[in-house]
Amino acid sequence: MATFRQRALDEAAAHTANRYFERGEAVSSYFGENVFDLETMKNYLSAQALQAILDAREKGTHPQRDVADQIADGVKLWAMERGATHYTHLFQPLTDSTAEKHEAFINYHNGRAVEEFSGEALVQQEPDASSFPNGGLRNTFEARGYSAWDPTSPLFILDGTLCIPSVFVAYTGEALDMKVPHLKSLRALSDAAAEVARLFDPGVKSVGVNVGLEQEYFLVDEALYNARPDLRLSGRTVIGHTSAKDQQLDDHYFGAIPARVSAFMKDFETEAYRLGIRLKTRHNEVAPNQFECAPLYADATTAIDQNMILMIVMQKVAEKHRLRVIFHEKPFGGVNGSGKHCNWSMTTDTGINLLSPGKTPEKNLRFLSFFACVLKGIQDHGFLLMTSVASLNNSYRLGGNEAPPAVMSVFSGSTLSAVMDAIVNGEEISERKEIKSTMDIIGTIPEIIQDNTDRNRTSPFAFTGNRFEFRAVGSSQNAAAAEYVLNTIVAEALREFKKGIDSLEAEGKSRDEAISVMIRRYFTASRPVRFEGNGYSPEWAEEAARRGLKPVRDIPEAYEIYHDPETRRLFTESGVLTEAEIEARYEVLNEIYVKKLQIEARILGDICLNHVLPAAIRYENLLIKGIKGKLEIFGDESLAETETSLLKDISKLCNALSKDVAALVEARKGANSEKDIAARAKRYSSDVRPLMDKVRKSADSLEMLVDDELWPLPKYRELLFF
Ligand code: ADP
Ligand code: MG
C-alpha cells in the first residue's frame, strides 16, 4: 500500500484508550477550582474590591482604577497559589476563535526578579493584534487595538495562565470582536424586556438571557488526520468517496461510546469541571465518529465564554489522546455535519422564566406577550438571524437534508399553535388535553410523563417547552454572533409592543385589553413565519417562497442584508452596532469567506495534482503493462477487456480532472482580480465553488477505480470508524 497511508493506519491502530487527567475524587470536590468565582473572591478580595465586581455584574458599572489595583493583588495571590506564571486577556475576534497574548507575572528590578500584576494590567492590554480582520476600522493612521477586562465573566486559569475574559476594540472605540455587541444586546434586551415584564410585575428591575449550547464534534485519529492535508489545513475533507457504510443503519447514534472516545470525554470533562463548566450530557451523534456534549444552561455571557473555553480544552486534551477534534460544520461529505444548538430563554431578576407557558398558556398573558414578541422579531428579521450564522463552513451543511433548512421558520408545537390560531381568529379556546399526561407501559415500568412540546427536528427555530432552540448555529462558530442578533431583534419587538400598549391605553383601553390587542396583532403579523410541518420537504420550500420567506442560499449574497436600511436602523437604534461597525462586519465576513474558499480551492488543486493524479497514472501504467502482456501471450485483445475498459474510464476521469483543476486556477485568478471584497466573494461563490464540486466528483470516482494499494490518502471508511 502507499507507504504514507499505510504508516498512518499502522500508527492509528497502535493508539489505545488511556486516561491522562483522572482525578479519582467526586467531581464536586474539584469543580470550579480553577475559576475565580464568587466564593473564591470572598477569600481573596477586600469588601470594597468584591463590591466593585458585584456592581459591575448587577448594575453595569465598572471598577475604578484604584479598586482595580486591589482586585489585581487578590487575583495574583490566588493565581500564583494555583501555579500560574502568566496572564492574558482572552478575547473573541471576528474569526470565530479566541485570541490570547501571554504576559509573564515576572518583572525585573535592579537585578531582582519579582512577580507583579497591576490593576492596569488587569483592566487593559494593548495586544496590537493588528493582523486580525477589522473591516477597515484600523486601516487609518491609528492601528492600535485594545483589549479590556469584562468583569461580568469570571477569571480562570488554563495551562498555567490566568485568563482574563476581555473585549477587543479599536483605538476609536469601535468593536473589533463578538463580545462588545453581545454585551450591548443584552442591555438592549434587558431594558426592553423589563419594561414589558413590569406590566405584569412592577418589581422587575432587569431581564437576563439564559443560554444552553449543545456542542457537536467529530473525532479523528491523529495519525490519519496528519495524513490528510485537507483536514489539517481547512478542517474538512475536500475529496473523499463516501464509505459503503456510514450512518444508514443509525447504529452509531446514541450507541455505546467507543473506549478511546469515552476516555477522552472523561478527561476533557474533568478539565472542564475544574474550570466551572457545568457539563451534563454526552452521547454519540448521527454520523460515525460524531459526538455531542452539552452543559447546563447559564447566563448568556458565561455560556458563550465557557463554550469558547470548552473548545480550547477539548482540543488540548485530544492531543494527549492522539486524537483531533473537528469542529468544522461539514468535515465529511455524505454524512451529517455538526451544529451548536443554541437554547435561549429570558428570565427576570425575580426569577421568572418569561417563556414558561405554565399549565394554561392561553390565560397566561405574560407568557403570550413574550412569546409573541419573539415570533414578531423572527418574522421581521428572520433572514438576518439566518445570515448571522451564514459562513462558508456552515453553508456546506445548511439546507441539506440533515441540518435545519436554509429558510427561517418557527415551530411552536400543536398546543401553542392552536392557542395562537384561536387568538388570531378571535375564537374561544376549546377544551384541550392537559399539557402533561402520563403513559403506562407495563406494570413494572414507572409511568412516563409525556409533555406536549413535541419536537420537530426539521425546524431551525423551535419552541421546546420553556425556551427556543436555534439550530442553525454552526459547530465551529462563536454563538455570540447569532445570539446578539436574536437579542437585538427580540428587544426591538418588545419596544414596539410596549409602545403599542402605551398608545392603546392612551386611547382609553384597559391594560389587559391593550395587552390582548397587541398579542393578537403580533400573532397575526407573524403567521407567515410559523411552520409546524417537515422543513426538509420540497413543498415547504415552495410554500415558504409563497409566504415571502427568503432562504439563505448564496452566502455573499446573504451578507447584503447588512446593507439593508432596516438592518442598519435595527442595530443603531438598539445601540448594538454603529454604522461603521456594521460595515466592518460586512467586510470581514466577505473577507473570511474569500480566504477560506481560496484555501480550500488551493488544497483541492494540490491534492488532485500531487496525490490523486499520480496514483491514477501509476495504476494506468500497470494496466497498460498488463494489457500489452496479455496481447503478447494470447494474441487476443478481448482477453484484456476488463483492463482496457478500466484504463479508458480512468483516462477519461484523469483528463476531466486536470482540465477542471486548470479551470479552477483560472476561476480563482478571475475572482482575485476583483478589487472590491464583496464582489470578490460573489465571484468566488459563483465561479470557484461549482468547479470545486466538479473536481471533487472526478477525484471521488477515481478513488473507486484506482487500486486501493496505490491510494495515498486515508479513506472515509478509515477516518470515520474507530
Ligand atoms: P436536546 O438535545 O434534547 O435539545 P440537551 O439536553 O442536549 O437537549 O440540551 C438542551 C440544552 O438546553 C441544555 O444545555 C440545557 O441546559 C438547555 N436549557 C434547558 N432549559 C433552558 C432554558 N430555560 N433556557 C436556556 N437553555 C435551557
Ligand atoms: Mg437540542
The DSSP code sequence of 647-666 is: HHHHHHHHHHHHHHHHHHHH
| Cα 351 from chain centroid (whole Å) | 28
Q: Which long-range contacts (CB under 8 A, 24 or more apart) does 97-105 make?
A: 97/478, 98/308, 98/309, 98/312, 99/127, 99/129, 99/132, 99/168, 100/161, 100/163, 101/125, 101/127, 101/129, 102/161, 105/76, 105/79, 105/80
**pLDDT score for 257:** 82
- pLDDT at 42 exceeding the cut of 70: yes
Confidence class for position 140, pLDDT limits 50, 70, 90: very low
Q: Provide φ and ψ at 283, rounded to 5°.
A: -165, 165
Q: Residue 437: what pLDDT? A: 58
Look at residue 242 in the predicted model and tell me its pLDDT: 92
Kindly give the number of the ligand 1 atom that is closest to the alpha carbon of 455: 3
Q: Which atom of ligand 1 is nearest to the CA of 466?
A: 23
User: How far apart are alpha carbons 163 and 552 in whole angstroms?
Assistant: 37
pLDDT at res. 284: 87
For the chain, which domains are there?
31-177 (3.10.20.70), 186-432+450-577 (3.30.590.10), 591-719 (1.20.120.1560)
Cβ atoms of residues 608 and 657 within 8 Å: yes
CA of 446 to the centre of ligand 1 (A): 24
**DSSP, residue by residue, 473-509:** -BTTS-THHHHHHHHHHHHHHHHHHHHHHHHHHHTT-
Which ligand does the CA of 307 lie closest to?
1
Tell me, what's the pLDDT at 256? 78
Q: Specify the pLDDT at position 451.
A: 57
Q: How far is the CA of 192 from the centre of ligand 2 (A)?
A: 27
Residue type, 420: M
pLDDT of residue 398: 87
Q: What is the CA radius of gyration of the chain?
A: 28
Q: pLDDT at position 417, please?
A: 95
Cβ–Cβ < 8 Å for 130, 143: yes
Looking up cell 493506519 gives: 9
Q: 395 in helix, strand or coil?
A: helix
**Residue 394 region, left (φ>0) first, then alpha (ψ -120 to 50), else beta?**
alpha
Closest ligand 1 atom to residue 296 Cα is 16
pLDDT in tens, 576-615: 999 999 999 999 999 999 999 999 999 999 999 999 999 9
Q: What percentage of the chain reaches a pLDDT higher than 90?
A: 83
Expressed in angstroms and rounded, the spacing between residue 341 Cα and the centre of ligand 1 is 9
Which residues have their alpha-adjacent CB atom under 5 A from ion ligand 2?
214, 341
pLDDT at 125: 85
The DSSP letter of residue 684 is I
Q: Which residues of 63-81 are buried (b: 16+ CB within 10 A; e: fewer)?
A: beeebbbbbbbbbbebbee
Distance 297 CA to ligand 2 centre (A): 12
Whole-number Å distance between alpha carbons of 682 and 555? 8
Name the closest ligand to CA 297.
1
The answer, as to whether pTM is greater than 0.85, is: yes
- The pLDDT value given to residue 443: 62
Cα 297 to averaged position of ligand 1 atoms, centre (Å): 6
Averaged pLDDT for residues 142-152: 83
Half-sphere exposure of 463 (CA within 13 A, CB side): 28
Helices 365-387 & 480-506, crossing angle to 10 degrees?
140
- Residue found by looking up cell 421568572 in the block: 352
Task: Return the SS3 of 59.
Answer: helix
Q: Which one of the ligands is nearest to 279 CA?
A: 1
What are the pLDDT digits (tens) for 170-191? Answer: 888 899 999 999 999 999 999 9
Which of 213, 281, 343 has most ligand 1 atoms within 8 Å of CB, for mutation?
343
Distance CA 446, CA 671 (A): 63
Q: What is the whole-number distance in angstroms between the Cα of residue 5 and the centre of ligand 2?
A: 37
Residue 141: predicted pLDDT: 43
Q: Which residue has the cell 491523529?
A: 222
Band of residue 263 on the pLDDT scale cut at 50, 70, 90: very high
Least confident window among 159-163, 264-268, 398-402, 661-665: 398-402
Tell me which residue has its CA closest to atom 14 in ligand 1. 212
Looking at residues 375-387, what average pLDDT do you find? 98
Instruction: Please give the grid coordinates belonging to residue 456.
Output: 420537530
Rounded-to-integer distance, Cα 16 and Cα 403, Å:
33
pLDDT digits (tens, 9 = 90+) for 319-339: 999 999 999 999 999 999 999
Q: Report how far residue 301's alpha carbon sits from residue 307's, in angstroms, rounded to the nearest whole number.
A: 10
Question: Closest by alpha carbon to 416, among 353, 482, 355, 502?
Answer: 355
Weakest mean pLDDT among 199-203, 424-428, 544-548: 424-428
Amino acid found at 384:
L
Q: Give, for ligand 1, the residue of 281, 297, 347 to mutate: max count of ligand atoms closer than 8 Å to Cβ.
A: 297
Ligand nearest to the CA of 404: 2
Output the pLDDT for position 106. Answer: 95
Beta strands in 365-521 (DSSP E): 410-411, 436-439, 448-451, 461-463, 468-470
- Please, what is the angle between helix 689-705 and helix 579-607, to 10°? 30
> 574 pLDDT exceeds 80?
yes
- From the CA of 211, which ligand is nearest? 1
Average pLDDT of the chain? 93
Q: What is the mean pLDDT of residues 525-546?
A: 95
**Strand extents, DSSP E, 173-317:** 207-213, 215-221, 279-284, 290-295, 298-299
| CA of 212 relative to ligand 1 center, distance in Å | 5
Pocket of ligand 1 (CB under 6 A): 210-212, 214, 281, 294-297, 341, 343-345, 353, 466-467
Predicted pLDDT at 137: 74
| pLDDT higher than threshold 90 for residue 433 | no
Rounded mean pLDDT, 237-241: 97
User: What digits encode the pLDDT tens for the residues 113-125?
Assistant: 999 999 999 999 8
Closest ligand 1 atom number to CA of residue 356: 23
Cα(304) to ligand 1 centroid in Å equals 14
Give the cell for residue 664: 479552477
How far apart are the CA of 216 and the centre of ligand 2, in A? 10
653: how many CB neighbours lie within 10 A of its CB? 22
Cell numbers representing residue 710 in the block: 496505490
Taking only the tens place, the pLDDT of each residue in 614-661 is 999 999 999 999 999 999 999 999 999 999 999 999 999 999 999 999
Average pLDDT over residues 141-166: 88
